[in-house]
Amino acid sequence: MKEGFWSVHYASEVAGGFGVIALDTGTVVGADATGGIWDGTYSFNNRSGMLDVRLRIKFPPHVLSTVTGEVASDGYEETYEVALPNDLGRETAINLTVLGVPVVARFKKIRDFP
CB of 33 within 8 A of CB of 18? Answer: yes
- Residue from 107, 111, 112 nearest 19 by CA: 107
pLDDT tens for the chain, 114 residues long, are: 688 999 999 999 888 899 999 999 999 999 998 888 999 999 999 999 999 999 999 988 888 777 777 887 888 888 999 999 888 888 999 998 887 889 999 999 999 988
> What DSSP letter does each residue of the chain carry, written as one string?
-EEEEEEEEEE-SS-EEEEEEEEETTEEEEEETTS-EEEEEEEE-TTTSSEEEEEEEEE-TTEEPTTTSSEETT-EEEEEEEEE---BT-EEEEEEEETTEEEEEEEEEEE---
